[in-house]
């Protein structure tokens, strides 16, 4: 899978239904885009409003709003020199509500997922080293403690 200039996924997939679903979930997988969607669920906002409320750079917010527009999840309503953005489909809120229900039902186990969980990137650094009988390269370690073979 590759990313286009807007940070959206571009991938050729033999199943158009899967490709569309993958694109939908990928569009919501970025924390910035998810925060924008959650904010727009409360009502329309300009990029300037989103910048102030999310504490992000204008270019970052614009890029992510553009991605959400390209995905058909957000609409823009021009008013003079300003554009007010809103969610284009109310079903998106149903999807997010279902996700919250699923997270509650699973005890948020997905947060512990070694691949996609909240600590996935740092999990390898924190994992204890394997124990065993040591190797020819040197002594074994157990959670950072050097154990000498005797």
What phi-psi label fits residue 55: left (phi over 0), alpha (psi between -120 and 50 degrees) or beta? left
pLDDT tens, position by position, 11-64? 444 566 668 888 889 899 999 999 999 999 999 999 999 999 999 999 999 999
Helix (H, G, I), strand (E, B) or coil at 108: coil
Task: Quote the longest CA-to-CA distance of the chain.
Answer: 80
H/E element holding 130? none
pLDDT tens, position by position, 51-101? 999 999 999 999 999 999 999 999 999 999 999 999 999 899 999 999 989
Cα separation, 83 vs 137, in Å, equals 63
Q: What pTM, to 2 d.p., does this model score? A: 0.66
């Amino acid at each position: 899978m590759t990313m286009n200039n807007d940070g959206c996924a571009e991938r050729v997939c033999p199943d158009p239904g899967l490709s569309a679903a993958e694109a939908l979930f990928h569009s919501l997988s970025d924390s910035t885009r998810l925060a924008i969607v959650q904010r727009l669920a409360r009502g329309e906002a300009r990029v300037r409003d989103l910048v102030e409320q999310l504490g992000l750079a204008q270019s970052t917010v614009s890029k992510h709003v553009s991605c959400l527009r390209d995905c058909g999840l957000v609409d823009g309503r021009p008013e003079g020199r300003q554009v007010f953005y809103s969610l284009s489909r109310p079903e998106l809120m149903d999807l997010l509500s279902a996700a919250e229900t699923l997270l509650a039902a699973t005890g948020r186990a997905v947060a512990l997922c070694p691949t996609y969980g909240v600590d996935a990137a740092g999990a390898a650094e924190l994992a204890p080293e394997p124990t065993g009988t040591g190797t020819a390269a040197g002594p074994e370690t157990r959670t950072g403690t050097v154990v000498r073979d005797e």
